[in-house]
C-alpha cells in the first residue's frame, strides 16, 4: 500500500510539473513569436487586398440593400414554414373548432408571406410553393376525415328497456 501511495505521489508531481512548464512564460514566448510572424504575414496580405476591397465595396453595398429585402422575405417564410410544420401535425388530431382556428391563422400568415413574395428569389419561391402544398395536403386530409365523421353521425333513438 505504501508503494502505491509513492507511485501516486510521483505521478501527481510529474503531472503538476508538466502543467507548470506548459504555463510558464518561456513556453508562451516561443509560441508568441510564431504568432507575431504569422500575424505580420497576414497583415501584409490585407494591405494588398485593401485596394480590391474598396473597388468592390460600392457594388457590395448595393447587393446588401437588395439582400435585406430578400432576407426579410426569407425570414418571414422560415417562420411560416415552422408554423406549418408544427400545426400540420397538430391538425391531424384537431377538432372542427380547432381546425377553423388553424385555418384562420394560416390564412393570416399566408397573406403576410404572400405580400413579400415579390422580394423572394427563385429558390425561396419554390420553397414557398412546397409549404403551401404541404398545408393543402393537410387540409384535404382533414376534409376527408371530417366528411367521414359527418357520414357516421346519425341520430340514433334507442329505447332502453329495463331488464
- Model confidence, pTM: 0.50
Instruction: State pLDDT tens for residues 51-106.
Output: 444 544 444 454 455 567 778 888 988 999 999 998 888 888 888 888 889 899 99
Which has the minimum average pLDDT: 45-49, 104-108, 110-114, 136-140?
A: 45-49
Which has the minimum average pLDDT: 39-43, 124-128, 157-161?
A: 39-43
Residue 113 within a domain: yes
Residue 145 within a domain: yes
pLDDT above 80 for 121: yes
Specify the pLDDT at position 81.
Answer: 92
Instruction: State pLDDT tens for residues 21-45.
Output: 777 765 555 555 555 655 655 555 4
Q: What's the grid cell of residue 18?
A: 508538466
Give the domain range for residue 100.
Answer: 70-152
Which has the minimum average pLDDT: 3-17, 41-55, 56-70, 117-131?
A: 41-55
- The b/e string for 65-96 (b: 16+ C-beta within 10 A; e otherwise) is eeeeeeeebbebbeebbebbeebbeebeebee
Specify the pLDDT at position 52.
Answer: 45
Residue 108 within a domain: yes
When divided into structural domains, the chain yields a total of 1
Q: Which of residues 54 and 131 earns the better pLDDT score?
A: 131
Residue 114 within a domain: yes
Residue 1 within a domain: no
pLDDT above 80 for 148: no
Amino acid at each position: 500500500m505504501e508503494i502505491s501511495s509513492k507511485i501516486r505521489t510521483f505521478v501527481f508531481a510529474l503531472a503538476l510539473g508538466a502543467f507548470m512548464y506548459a504555463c510558464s512564460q518561456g513556453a508562451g514566448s516561443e509560441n508568441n513569436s510564431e504568432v507575431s510572424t504569422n500575424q505580420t504575414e497576414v497583415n501584409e496580405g490585407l494591405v494588398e487586398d485593401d485596394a480590391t476591397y474598396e473597388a468592390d465595396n460600392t457594388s457590395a453595398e448595393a447587393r446588401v440593400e437588395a439582400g435585406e429585402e430578400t432576407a426579410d422575405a426569407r425570414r418571414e417564410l422560415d417562420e411560416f414554414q415552422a408554423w406549418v410544420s408544427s400545426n400540420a401535425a397538430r391538425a391531424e388530431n384537431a377538432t372542427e373548432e380547432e381546425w377553423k382556428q388553424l385555418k384562420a391563422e394560416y390564412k393570416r400568415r399566408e397573406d403576410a408571406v404572400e405580400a413579400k413574395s415579390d422580394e423572394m428569389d427563385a429558390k425561396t419561391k419554390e420553397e414557398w410553393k412546397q409549404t403551401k402544398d404541404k398545408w393543402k395536403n393537410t387540409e384535404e386530409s382533414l376534409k376527408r376525415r371530417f366528411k367521414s365523421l359527418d357520414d357516421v353521425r346519425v341520430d340514433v333513438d334507442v329505447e332502453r328497456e329495463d331488464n
